């Protein structure tokens, strides 16, 4: 009996060392910032006030190369704004001319990467506006997903790439290293696809679609977006349109159950010099009329100025929002003004 135990332990020990450790380069970086935010509206009882906040984020990156020339990269980000939990985590396998495969524990998928691509010098235009429905694009297929990203194909001065996402349990958070086999009660699997064409003249165009299947008699959902970006010297321009069909009975903090949304976003950013940058952005989106509910519009304008010197950056963002909560009843419409001043340090 004892001999059998020894044989079993020896076999187990051998199985544990089949994969040998390779040299890996690790790096740690982070930012910490303090901000002052002031928000006001005509209905101060509903939206308004001032606050001071401190935010710290730390990122861990490890990379190495396999014997066959493939590369492996691991990335994890911690943010105290998320109760000291992972805010992003991916494992990326680079296969050279064959492309890249990303295993996205949290974010890093192709579709989620184009939820807002308009130029800016710091935060998105909707950051102080209560969010935007555009944030929902790619969100359902961003956790516990696998993504394939193609290498660039050069044709007549154009670089063409595409990415494909697959999430077997769309809309379900995947926070455990063993993954979760549970699906959301109203959602099945999800897929995403993104294509991008960039020219050597500074123009880039792209488009994406996200399809999420329904579950337990809930209908499918479809999200579509397209954009164009142009950069000429210190100036960058961008325009993006989007359409979201929420199907039936599926809601989150940004979209209501069964809602259809259309919208567009534009932005311009200008690097005045190596230290000073300015940007202006607009978002106009509509919640389409439903049975018994009128349509509703939300308009956001945002101006940002940023000054950086070494590892320090001072940013001021002014955001005005018409119909903050996308209400369709005139008596419930709330317009807001928000100002945020942020001092950030990189380490």
DSSP string, 209-247: EEEEEE-TTPPPEEEEEEEEEEEETTEEEEEEEEEEE--
The residue among 230 and 78 whose pLDDT is bigger is 230
Mean pLDDT for the chain overall: 86
Asked whether residue 11 carries a pLDDT value surpassing 50, the answer given is no
Asked whether residue 32 carries a pLDDT value surpassing 90, the answer given is yes
Find the largest Cα–Cα distance for the chain.
83
Q: DSSP character for 2?
A: H
- List, for residues 283-340, the tens digit of each pLDDT value: 999 998 877 778 999 999 999 999 999 899 999 999 999 998 888 888 788 899 999 9
**DSSP bridge pairs for 345:** 32, 312
Asked whether residue 55 carries a pLDDT value surpassing 80, the answer given is yes
d(CA 238, CA 341): 25
Asked whether residue 24 carries a pLDDT value surpassing 90, the answer given is no
Q: 169 in helix, strand or coil?
A: coil
First to last CA, the chain: 58
The confidence score (pLDDT) of residue 182 equals: 65
Tell me which residue of 264, 247, 162 sits closest to 211, measured CA to CA. 247
Burial class (CB in 10 A: 0-12, 13-18, 19+), 331: exposed
Q: What mean pLDDT comes out for the span 12-38?
A: 73
Map out the domains of the chain as residue ranges. 22-346
d(CA 280, CA 340): 15
d(CA 240, CA 206): 9
d(CA 147, CA 138): 12
For 145-162, give the DSSP string: EEEEEPPPEEETTEEEEE
The residue among 347 and 234 whose pLDDT is bigger is 234
Asked whether residue 7 carries a pLDDT value surpassing 50, the answer given is no
The answer to whether 258 touches 248, Cβ cutoff 8 Å, is yes
The answer to whether 60 touches 51, Cβ cutoff 8 Å, is no
Q: Does the domain at residues 22-346 carry the CATH identifier 3.90.1560.10?
A: no
The answer to whether 316 touches 340, Cβ cutoff 8 Å, is yes
The answer to whether 102 touches 164, Cβ cutoff 8 Å, is no
Asked whether residue 234 carries a pLDDT value surpassing 70, the answer given is yes
Asked whether residue 117 carries a pLDDT value surpassing 70, the answer given is yes
The confidence score (pLDDT) of residue 297 equals: 94
Residue count (the chain): 347
**Least confidently predicted of 2-6, 171-175, 209-213, 243-247:** 2-6
d(CA 210, CA 113): 12
> Which pLDDT band, with edges at 50, 70 and 90, does 187 fall under?
confident
**Least confidently predicted of 154-163, 164-173, 337-346:** 164-173
Which of 205-219, 261-275, 285-299 is most confident? 261-275
Q: How far is CA 93 from the centre of its chain?
A: 20
Q: 1 in helix, strand or coil?
A: coil
Q: What mean pLDDT comes out for the span 192-207?
A: 97
d(CA 23, CA 199): 37
The confidence score (pLDDT) of residue 252 equals: 66
Question: Around 328, how many Cα atoms within 13 Å sit in the side-chain half-sphere?
Answer: 13
The confidence score (pLDDT) of residue 6 equals: 39
Asked whether residue 157 carries a pLDDT value surpassing 60, the answer given is yes
Predicted model pTM: 0.85
d(CA 26, CA 149): 24
Burial class (CB in 10 A: 0-12, 13-18, 19+), 161: middle
């Amino acid at each position: 009996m004892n001999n059998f135990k020894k044989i079993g332990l020896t076999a187990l020990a051998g199985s544990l060392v089949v994969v040998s450790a390779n040299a890996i380069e690790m790096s740690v970086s982070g930012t910490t910032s303090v901000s002052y935010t002031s928000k006001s509206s005509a209905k101060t009882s509903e939206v308004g006030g001032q606050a001071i906040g401190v935010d710290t984020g730390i990122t861990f990156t490890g990379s190495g190369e396999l014997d066959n020339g493939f590369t492996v990269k691991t990335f994890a980000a911690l943010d105290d704004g998320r109760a000291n939990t992972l805010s992003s985590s991916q494992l990326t396998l680079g296969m050279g001319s064959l492309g890249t495969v990303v295993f996205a524990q949290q974010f890093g998928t192709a579709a989620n990467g184009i939820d807002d691509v308009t130029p800016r010098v710091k935060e998105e235009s909707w950051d102080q506006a209560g969010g935007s429905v555009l944030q929902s694009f790619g969100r359902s297929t961003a956790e516990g997903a696998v993504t394939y990203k193609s290498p660039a194909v050069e044709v007549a001065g154009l670089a063409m790439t595409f990415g494909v996402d697959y999430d077997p349990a769309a809309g379900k958070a995947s926070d455990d290293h063993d993954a979760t086999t549970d699906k959301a009660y109203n959602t099945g699997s999800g897929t995403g696809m993104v294509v991008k064409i960039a020219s050597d003249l500074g123009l880039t165009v792209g488009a994406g679609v996200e399809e999420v299947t329904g579950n337990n008699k809930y209908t499918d959902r479809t999200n579509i977006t397209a954009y164009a970006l142009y950069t000429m010297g210190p100036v960058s321009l961008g325009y993006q349109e989007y359409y979201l069909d929420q199907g039936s009975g599926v809601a989150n903090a940004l979209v209501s159950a069964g809602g259809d949304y259309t919208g567009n976003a534009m932005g311009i950013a200008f690097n005045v010099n190596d230290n000073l940058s300015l940007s202006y952005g607009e978002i106009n989106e509509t919640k389409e009329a439903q049975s018994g509910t009128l349509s509703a519009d939300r308009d956001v304008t945002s101006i940002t100025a940023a000054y950086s010197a070494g590892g320090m950056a001072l940013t001021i963002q002014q955001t005005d929002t018409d119909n903050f909560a996308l209400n369709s009843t005139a008596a419930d419409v709330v317009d807001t003004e928000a100002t945020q001043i942020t001092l950030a340090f990189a380490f």
